[in-house]
Amino acid sequence: MYRKNLELIMEKRSLTQSDIARMSGVSRQAVSLWFKSDNDFIDLMVSNFSKLCGALNISSEELLTPIPGLTQTGRFETMFNWDHQFKDVTSFFLALVQGNQRAIGRLVQVYGMYRSAAVLGNRIWREFPGYSRFIHPSKRKICEKIIQLRENPIRI
């Protein structure tokens, strides 16, 4: 199973390594080694893996299929978390999904309005007043002009 997938589930559900050990039927030391290893893939006996999936109430595919983008953690860390506002890039993406205004502002600052709207939908336009304070002032002015042009297109 992919370690990053498991980390994401653990963070979202506030689970500890001890919880995972108990759910999968392995020792806490074994789980600790999973997270200390440089290997992104955790090799686990089928019976323990099935037990873990059952306890988490997820399909095996959710742990066996790499999540696009999480394999590019270093690049995304540089793009979205250069100042360490979030614990790590996984925390950034979780905050983004949960609607954290700081994370949305960061996404818009890096990707721009239209690309961010492709990621998060129309909330980018609707929620701009809430997250705009987290965007650099020069970039914020550009975003404000884009919103203005989007609402009042120039007719030729």
Mean pLDDT by 10 residues, the chain (156 residues): 88 91 95 87 91 92 74 65 78 86 92 90 94 94 93 82
Q: What is the pTM of this model?
A: 0.54
CA–CA distances in Å: residue 63 to residues 1, 16, 57, 86: 5, 17, 12, 24
**Amino acid type, 125:** W
Q: Is 121 exposed, middle or buried (0-12, 13-18, 19+ CB in 10 A)?
A: exposed
CATH numbers and ranges of domains, the chain: 3-64 (1.10.260.40), 71-151 (no CATH)
